[in-house]
Amino acid sequence: MIIKSHIRGGYRAAADYLKEYGKNEKIRTVEISDPDAKNLDEAFHNMWTVASTTRAKKPLHHISINPMKDERLTDEQVLKIVKRCEEKYGYKPNDHQRVIVEHIKDGRQHFHVIWNRVNLTTGKVIWPGQHWLKSKQAAREMERELGLKRPIPKRVKRMWAAIARSGRSSKYFGRYQTMNLNVVRGSALLPQPEARPQITPINRTNKKRDVNIPDSEKVPFRRPEWEYNELLIWAWENGRADILAQFGIFVNFDL
């Protein structure tokens, strides 16, 4: 799941964007928290009325919740994700106007959530801090709690693509590329933790290239039966950031 976060203004544009079909096959309003608003136009008008008493130029906080293509979120799951995001951003329950809208585009589900950052009780404008980082943290936490898939970072995909182009990938690369990579530890689809490869430290002090070193010794892993793409997938699934780092892939599994 991917959660993207933006701070914005423009109530009219926000309402039009949520209502516009464009390439969307379906649009559905999941929630309007304002009891005095009957539709999105009235909801955003009321947000503007509240925010107009402050100096905030961008009082709207907009996030998009994007599950994986083959996943579908229920309204209950979406509300749990939104609640976790509110905890991260510092928005107290029922103190901020909020709308939630579902879009279906190219058969793929995603949700838009927009808050008014102005607190209805205090009249203060709440700043969500590093909202882009907090959104990522909320996504990782809710993936574990709801059993959702974790997306593969683009840099990992680019590395696998580079390995495939180099001719070192095996015939299994296509299968691993399309399989669910959110397999739990111990799955029979991937090598078991007991079968982890032996890592040979790389001597970086000797900068002079020795042409007499056999190719097998130049590889930092002493398990020739491990294909490069299989090793990367195993390292990703088992949280082995040290192995990924030797391929130039730097991942913080705590986020």
The answer as to whether 252 is a domain residue is no
Tell me the torsion sign for CA atoms 226, 231, 233, 234: positive
**174 and 201 in a common domain:** yes
| The 3-state secondary structure of 36-78, one letter per residue | CCCCHHHHHHHHHHHHCCCCCCCCEEEEEEECCCCCCCCHHHH
* Of the residues 114, 146, 178, the one at which a domain ends: 146
Give, for all 255 residues of the chain, the pLDDT tens digit: 999 999 998 899 999 999 888 888 999 999 999 999 999 999 999 999 999 999 999 999 999 999 998 899 999 999 999 999 999 999 998 999 999 999 999 889 999 999 999 999 999 999 999 999 999 999 999 999 999 988 877 777 777 677 666 655 444 344 444 333 333 333 333 344 444 455 555 555 545 555 555 554 454 444 544 566 677 777 777 777 887 777 767 777 766
- Neighbour tally for 218: CB within 10 Å: 10
- pTM assigned to the model: 0.66
DSSP letter at 213? Answer: S
**125 and 30 in a common domain:** yes
Going by their DSSP bridges, the two strands 60-66 and 98-105 should be labelled as: unpaired
The answer as to whether 253 is a domain residue is no
Domain that holds residue 96: 2-146
